[in-house]
Amino acid sequence: MSKARQKGTAAETAVVKYLRQCGWLDADRHPLRGQADQGDIRGISNMVLEVKNHRTYSIPAWMREVEAEKENADARFGAAIIKPNGVGLTSVGQWWAVMSVEDFAKLCARAKL
């Protein structure tokens, strides 16, 4: 396994562990599906999560990826979960969740916030 793939797998595993600790017991890594990819993490209703662990940030490209994966998964919401530089794998709660304002507004409405 390449170093990049090991790094990605470690980040995805850390996110799953964190989400399960937060009560999302069905959270799990989702296998790659090529062009029909449906995100890295599934198990939260109507949500796809794309986990990123890179030294440099490519947020516009990552958000296009999230949008494509939402469509592939027929999900209402999607977010890129980004590990900031200098924040470890055991501090997932300090990572960033980036989503479109449209998804944010729909999520808030659904939660009745």
The DSSP-derived string for 71-111 is HHHT-SEEEEEE--TT--TT-GGGSEEE--HHHHHHHHHHH
Whether the pLDDT of residue 112 is over 90: the answer is no
pLDDT of residue 113: 66
Q: Which stretch of DSSP H or E encloses residue 24? A: none
pLDDT tens digits for range 22-75:
999 999 998 666 678 888 999 999 999 999 999 999 999 999 999 999 999 999
Domains of the chain: 3-111 (3.40.1350)
